[in-house]
Structure formats: C-alpha cells, structure tokens
Structure 1
Amino acid sequence: MTVLAFDLDGTLSDPAQGITTSINYALENLRASTIAPHNLTQYIGPPLSRTFAQLLNTEDEAVISQAVALYRERYRTIGYTENILYPGIPDLLKELTNQGHRLYVVTAKPTDIAQAVIDYFALRPYFIDVWGCRLDRNKAELLRDIQEQEHTDLWMIGDRASDMAAGQGFTRCLGGLWGYGSLAELEQAGADALIHTPSELLKLI
C-alpha cells in the first residue's frame, strides 16, 4: 500500500480556460490590462497571491487580496466547470484504489474549490480526502500532515516546480509531463522521476 498525493491543476485536470479567463476577469475589474490566455498558462499551479503580485507588479497586500477575491468570484461560480479532465485519469485512479493505494488531493486551491472540481468530475470516491491550502497552511505542511496521519511513505505527483518543492526531502516527488511544467523545470526542481502519461505511474508503484 502506497499513499499518493495528487496535485489538481495540470495533474488531474486541465484548468486553462477557467483560470486564464478568471485571471483576466480580475485584471479587468481592477482596470489593469488583460493578457492573452496563452501567455497566462505559466501561472497555472503556483499560488494566486504570487501570480497577481507579478501580473500587477505590486507588493500591496490589499491590491493582491482584491485581485484574488475577484478571481475566485468568477472561478467559484463558473470557472471550475471549465476544467477538462486529462485522458486516462479516471482509469488510473480506479486501478490505484483497486490495488489498495490511498489517494489524496493536495492543491494550492482553497479546499472548497478543490472539492467542487473533484465532485464535478465525480472523482470523490477515489480519494481519502481533498486538501487545499489556506493563508496559514501551504502545500508542504499539508503533505507533512498526511504523512504523519498515514505513518508510511508518501508520493507527491504534480506538474510544477512548486509541487516538487513542497515534497522535497520527505516524499518521493514525481513530475507529470502532461501538465504545464516543462521537463527542464521539473528536473531542476528535483523530481525523483518523470512520467509522460498517467498510466506510467502504475509501473512505478
């Protein structure tokens, strides 16, 4: 039995349309210039506060918080339904649970939004729990909590450097190359292994 923690965006589903449109919704409402969607995909995965600090070129916490709130205003109502489930993910999750592995979702999204996405795709039965971040809890802390709760080895599966960094030193970190992180990004971030398709995960366990 292995405990597996899956990132959400770029790992289980492709959230590009919902995320990029919601980012531009926030920028537009703040009277900032909107950005072509293909130039925003680099921001899929990292925390929203960091994204808007960069996009708005500001360290003003009030402005950043307003941008995040506007983003979530749209994402909570429609953006999460604009996700596209990656091919092979349902079959992978079904096979992993049939083999007795314990699965979690660990994401930078707030828990309620992450749960809405998982429920939208009817994936909840495959997961022990869905854990999202708060202002006072980052992804690394969530992974440590799972490891302490499960008392066994933990694997982190994600597509960005931030996923690898979160699990560095105490989990085995697997980089999924079907998401938004490049091979160079994941290698530099210290991924223990790289997998090109979801089904390749089954060969490593």
Structure 2
Amino acid sequence: MQTLFVQEMPRDGRRTSIQRVASVVLHLVLLAAFTFQFHKVVKAVARPHKVAAVIIPYAPGHQAVVQKPKPKIQPPKDPPKLPLKQPDPPPVSSGGDPTGEDDVSVATADFYPDPKPDLAMLPHGTNGDVVVDIVIDESGKVVETTLDQGLGHGFDEAVMAVIQTWTFTPATKAGKPVASKQQLLFHFVRA
C-alpha cells in the first residue's frame, strides 16, 4: 500500500497569497486609473485649435481640474470721440462786497513781528490758542484789540501788546482807504 502524503498549507500561507493577489489587483486598478486620467489630460491639451485650458496638476485624493482661462480684454482700436464742452469762464471781477460795490481789498500786514511771550508763564503740557479781534483804521494802524479767546496767566496781554505794534496797508473800497476788522489766531504749545 502506498501512502500519499499531502502537505497542508498553513493557514497563514493562504492569507499571504490572498494578500499578494489583492495587492497586484489593486496596483493594476490604480495604474489603469492613472493611465485613464493621463489620456484625458493629453486629449485636452492636444486640441490647440479649440479653447485653451489651464491644467492644475493631479494631487492624490483629488481629481485633476481643467479651467478655462479668463478672456483678455482689449481696448478698442479707435476710442469713441465725444464732444467735450469747455466750461464757461467765471465772470471777471475786481473784488466784491456783500453790499454790491466793486473794487474792495482787505488790509494786509506790512510789519508784523511774531508774538513770542515767555512760555514759562504757562503750566507744563499746556497748548491752546489766543484769538484776537482787531480794528485797523484808514492809515493802517491797529486802533482796537479785543481778546476773543485766551490762555490766561498774563500770556494774552503779552500777545496783544505785540499786535499793537503791527502796521497794515489799509483796506480799500472803490480805491479809497477804509477802516476794517480782522481776527488773528495764534497757537502756542508748552511741552
């Protein structure tokens, strides 16, 4: 009698061969998918006579995207010619007065030294304005000063004393010197 020895494969061996077959099949499927995607991209690029395309590279886990480029806007060869109307020039005037009379000019300062009062009179960190209303007579001299806003501490009086020395070319109306009023503003800062 003859005995036949059949050797059984261990169960681990069967699993290993099934895993190998599954790996080969999976690799073949992935290779086929990449090949299909590659042919799809090549076909899109091979059509230059049609619409151009921008291809974004394939990234694992994402599908390749083909986007149409944005059209370039070209300006027209000949821009439209529109008639341009020039605005009318303003009427020529030699001045004006709210009362309707012409040839009015304002007083301009001829001699006007800057008031430089002692900033030490002000507390540290103080800043502010001194506003003075003045009346200028027909000869161009300051005849009246009125404090409109001040800083105090003897500071305002020092500014007004300097303004009293100022001289002006007087304002004129119809070519004749006249008295006028002006407002002066001085800004001071003590650090």
Q: Is TM-score (shorter-chain normalized) higher than 0.5?
A: no
> Is the strand fraction higher in 1 or 2?
2
| Greater relative CO (CA pairs within 8 A, separation 6+) | 1
Scaled to the shorter chain, the TM-score interval is under 0.3
Greater per-residue helix proportion? 1
With the length of structure 1 as denominator, give the TM-score of the two structures: 0.21
| Bigger Rg over Cα | 2
